[in-house]
C-alpha cells in the first residue's frame, strides 16, 4: 500500500476508504503480494480533458473519477497488475507514449489512420459519434449538412477527429481547448454550432437551456487504447482483457453507470470485429449519411491534404500579421499619452499611468486576452449590457495585445524622452518656445531616433506573442499549426518546419531593420 501511495499523485485521496475508484487501482498490489510484485502499468491521460473521461470529482477535488478511471480499474483487475494514472496533456499523449513517459494512453483517443502509423491501437472500447449542438432558437438549419451549406462557423475541440473532419470539409471553424468555452461562445452567438463528441455534448451542453442538439450523431469513430508498436505483447493482453470485460458485462455496467451506453456499443460488445470501412453496417437506419474523414477527402477533391494545410497556414500567417500590425498601432498610440502622463502629468495622472504600466507589465498577456474575451462579456451581461456578439476573437486579441504592449511602449517612450537633456528644454524655453512646441519640434524628433530600435524589437516580440491569441480561438499561424499537428501526427515535423519558416520570413527582416537603425543612429548626436 505504501509503495503504491508514494507513486500516486493524490496521496491524501488514496488514504481514504471512500476513494473507491483509486482504491480499486491500488488494491491490486496486495493480491500480488506473494509473487514478486509486478511492475505497475503507467496510464497516460489528461484529467483536465473533461467529463466523463477522467476528471476531478466536484465533491472531492482530490479524487479522480470518470468512466475511463473505472475501466482502468477493471483492466488492472483482469491483468493482475496495478495501473497508475499519469497526468499528461491530451495534445501530447501520442508523442508522450512514443517517448516512453507512460505505457499506454487511454483518454478518448480516436483511432485514426494517422495515429495508427505511430502507435499500436487496442481493439476499440467505445464507438463515438459527433453531435451537432446549436442554440435553442436556431431555425436556419437543423442538420450538420445544413450548417455546412450555410457556411456556418463550427466550434470544436482542439486535437480531436472533429477538427480534422471539419478541415477536410473546408468548414469555418473555431477550435477551443475546453468544451465549456466552446459552448459558452455558441450561446453568446460567436459561433453557429458546436461539433463535438456526443458524449461531451451530453455532459457539457445537455443541461443548458440555451442550447439544443441538431440532427442525430454522425461521423462515427472508435476510442482505442494506444500502445507503443513494440509493446505488442502487452497490447494483446489488454485486447484479451477488454474482450473478457465485454463478455462478462462489466464494461456495459461501467457505461451504464456513466449513462453513455447506446445501441452502437451493443454491436461492439457482441464481439463484432470493426474494420476501417464498415460505416454502412453500423449506420443508424434512416439517419443522414455519416460524415467521415475518408468520405470528406473524396468529396472535397483531389487536392492532397498537405496543400490544404499549407493554404491554411498561409491564412494563419495573414491573421498573425494583421493582429501584429493592428495591436502594435494601438500600443504605440496608447503608449505615448501614458508616457507623457507619467512624465509630465499632475500627480494623480502620474499615479494612474504608473499603475497601468506596472499592472500590464506584471500580468501575463494570455490572462489579459482570456479576461477580455470571456470575462468582459460576462461582466457586461451582469451590468445588463450585451457585448457578447460584437467582440470577435481577433478584435479581443488586438485590444488585449495592444493594451499589454502599450505598457512596454510607454516605457520605451519614457526612456527615449527622458534621455533628452533638460538643457534642451531650457534652451528652447529661453528662445520663447512653449512646452508643447518644444516637445513637438525639439524633444520628440530627437527621441524618435532613440525610440525606433527598441520599438522594432518590441514589434518582433509582439509578432511572436500573437501566438497567445490561439487561446481565444484566433486562428493565427501557431494555432493553425497546433490544430493540424494534433489531429494528424504525421505532419508534425513538416508543418512545424513550414510554420517556423513562415515566422522567420517575417521576423528576420524586422530584426535586421532594428539592428540597421541602431547602427545608423548610434553616431553621437551633438
Partner 1 sequence: MTTAIHNAPGWITLTNVTKRFGDRLVLDGVSLTVQAGETVALIGPSGGGKSTLLRCLNGLNSFDAGTVRVGPHELTAAASGRPHAATMAVRRLLGMIFQDFQLFPHLTALGNIIEAPVQVLRQDRAQATKRAGQLLERVGLSSHAHAYPRQLSGGQKQRVAIARALAMEPRGLLCDEITSALDPELKGEVLDVLVDLKRDGLTLLLVTHEIGFARKAADRVVVLGGGKIIEEGPPSQVIDQPQTERTRNFLSRVLG
Q: What phi and psi, each to the nearest 5 degrees, are found at residue 231?
A: -90, 45
Closer residue to partner 1 (CB): 271 or 445: 445
Inter-axis angle of helices 250-257 and 232-247, nearest 10: 80
What Å distances lie between residue 351 and 142, 348, 357, 402, CA to CA? 55, 5, 10, 21
Rounded least distance, CB 157 to partner 1, Å: 56
Please return the burial class of 273, using the count of CB atoms within 10 Å of its CB with bins 0-12, 13-18 and 19+. Answer: exposed
Inter-axis angle of helices 477-487 and 161-168, nearest 10: 110
Closer residue to partner 1 (CB): 54 or 420: 420
Rounded least distance, CB 447 to partner 1, Å: 10
Closer residue to partner 1 (CB): 378 or 424: 424
Closer residue to partner 1 (CB): 171 or 428: 428
Would you state the cell numbers that stand for residue 80, as one nine-digit string?
Answer: 493482475
Closer residue to partner 1 (CB): 18 or 423: 423
Closer residue to partner 1 (CB): 248 or 434: 434
Residues binding partner 1 (CB under 8 A): 421, 423-424, 426-435, 437, 441-442, 445-446, 449, 523-526
Rounded least distance, CB 419 to partner 1, Å: 12
Rounded least distance, CB 344 to partner 1, Å: 13
Closer residue to partner 1 (CB): 396 or 452: 452
Closer residue to partner 1 (CB): 18 or 432: 432
Report the distance separating Cα 338 and Cα 345, nearest Å.
9
Query: Is 193 within 8 Å of 155 (Cβ atoms)?
Result: yes
Which stretch of DSSP H or E encloses residue 155?
Answer: strand 153-157
Strand partners, 156: 175
Rounded least distance, CB 329 to partner 1, Å: 25
Which stretch of DSSP H or E encloses residue 174?
Answer: strand 172-176
Would you state the cell numbers that stand for residue 353, as one nine-digit string?
Answer: 499611468
Report the distance separating Cα 179 and Cα 126, nearest Å.
20
Rounded least distance, CB 525 to partner 1, Å: 4
Rounded least distance, CB 453 to partner 1, Å: 16
Q: How far is CA 62 from the centre of its chain?
A: 24
Closer residue to partner 1 (CB): 393 or 416: 416
The answer, yes or no, to whether the previous bond of 188 is cis (omega within 30 of 0) is: no
Report the distance separating Cα 125 and Cα 53, nearest Å.
13
Q: Within 13 Å of residue 430, how many CA atoms lie on the same side as its CB? A: 6
Which stretch of DSSP H or E encloses residue 55?
Answer: strand 55-56
Rounded least distance, CB 381 to partner 1, Å: 50
Rounded least distance, CB 421 to partner 1, Å: 8
Residue 39, Ramachandran bin (φ over 0: left; ψ between -120 and 50: alpha; else beta):
beta
Q: Which residues contact 445 (CB under 8 A, 6 or more apart)?
A: none
Rounded least distance, CB 349 to partner 1, Å: 18
Closer residue to partner 1 (CB): 449 or 464: 449
Query: Is 411 within 8 Å of 339 (Cβ atoms)?
Result: yes
Amino acid at each position: 500500500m505504501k509503495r503504491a501511495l508514494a507513486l500516486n499523485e493524490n496521496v491524501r485521496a488514496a488514504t481514504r476508504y471512500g476513494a473507491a475508484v483509486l482504491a480499486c487501482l491500488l488494491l491490486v498490489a496486495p493480491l500480488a503480494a506473494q509473487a514478486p510484485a509486478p511492475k505497475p502499468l503507467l496510464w497516460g491521460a489528461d484529467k483536465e480533458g473533461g467529463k466523463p473521461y477522467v476528471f476531478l470529482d466536484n465533491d472531492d477535488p482530490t479524487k479522480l473519477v470518470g468512466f475511463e478511471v473505472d475501466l482502468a480499474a477493471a483492466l488492472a483487475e483482469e491483468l493482475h497488475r496495478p495501473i497508475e494514472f499519469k497526468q499528461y496533456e491530451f495534445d501530447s499523449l501520442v508523442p508522450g507514449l512514443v517517448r516512453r513517459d507512460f505505457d499506454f494512453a487511454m483518454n478518448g483517443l480516436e483511432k485514426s489512420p494517422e495515429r495508427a502509423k505511430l502507435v499500436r491501437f487496442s481493439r476499440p472500447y467505445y464507438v463515438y459519434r459527433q453531435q451537432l449542438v446549436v442554440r435553442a432558437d436556431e431555425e436556419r438549419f437543423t442538420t450538420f449538412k445544413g450548417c455546412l451549406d450555410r457556411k456556418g462557423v463550427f466550434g470544436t475541440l482542439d486535437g480531436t477527429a472533429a477538427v480534422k473532419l471539419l478541415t477536410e470539409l473546408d468548414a469555418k471553424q473555431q477550435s477551443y481547448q475546453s468544451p465549456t468555452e466552446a459552448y459558452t461562445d455558441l450561446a453568446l452567438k460567436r459561433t453557429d454550432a458546436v461539433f463535438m463528441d456526443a458524449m461531451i455534448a451530453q455532459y457539457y451542453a445537455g443541461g443548458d437551456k440555451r442550447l439544443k442538439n441538431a440532427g442525430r450523431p454522425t461521423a462515427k469513430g472508435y476510442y482505442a487504447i494506444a500502445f507503443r508498436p513494440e509493446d505488442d505483447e502487452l497490447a494483446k493482453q489488454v485486447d484479451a482483457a477488454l474482450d473478457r470485460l465485454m463478455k462478462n458485462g462489466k464494461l456495459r455496467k461501467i457505461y451504464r453507470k456513466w449513462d453513455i451506453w447506446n445501441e452502437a456499443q451493443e454491436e461492439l460488445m457482441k464481439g463484432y470485429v470493426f474494420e476501417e470501412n464498415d460505416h454502412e453496417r453500423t449506420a443508424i437506419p434512416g439517419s443522414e449519411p455519416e460524415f467521415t474523414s475518408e468520405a470528406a477527402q473524396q468529396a472535397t477533391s483531389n487536392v492532397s491534404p498537405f496543400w490544404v494545410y499549407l493554404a491554411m497556414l498561409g491564412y494563419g500567417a495573414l491573421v498573425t500579421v494583421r493582429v501584429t500590425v493592428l495591436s502594435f498601432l494601438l500600443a504605440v498610440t496608447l503608449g505615448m499619452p501614458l508616457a507623457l502622463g507619467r512624465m509630465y502629468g499632475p500627480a494623480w495622472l502620474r499615479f494612474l499611468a504608473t499603475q497601468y504600466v506596472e499592472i500590464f507589465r506584471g500580468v501575463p498577456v494570455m490572462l489579459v486576452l482570456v479576461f477580455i474575451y470571456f470575462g468582459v462579456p460576462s461582466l457586461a451581461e451582469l451590468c445588463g449590457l450585451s457585448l457578447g456578439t460584437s467582440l470577435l476573437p481577433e478584435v479581443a486579441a488586438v485590444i488585449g495585445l495592444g493594451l499589454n504592449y502599450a505598457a512596454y511602449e510607454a516605457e520605451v517612450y519614457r526612456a527615449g524622452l527622458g534621455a533628452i537633456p533638460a538643457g534642451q528644454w531650457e534652451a528652447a524655453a529661453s528662445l520663447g518656445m512653449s512646452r508643447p512646441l518644444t516637445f513637438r519640434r525639439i524633444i520628440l524628433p530627437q527621441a524618435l531616433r532613440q525610440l525606433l530600435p527598441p520599438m522594432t524589437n518590441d514589434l518582433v516580440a509582439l509578432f511572436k506573442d500573437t501566438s497567445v491569441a490561439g487561446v481565444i480561438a484566433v486562428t493565427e499561424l501557431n494555432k493553425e499549426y497546433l490544430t493540424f499537428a494534433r489531429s494528424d501526427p504525421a505532419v508534425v515535423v513538416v508543418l512545424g518546419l513550414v510554420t517556423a519558416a513562415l515566422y522567420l520570413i517575417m521576423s528576420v527582416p524586422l530584426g535586421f531593420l532594428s539592428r540597421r537603425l541602431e547602427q545608423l543612429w548610434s553616431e553621437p548626436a551633438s
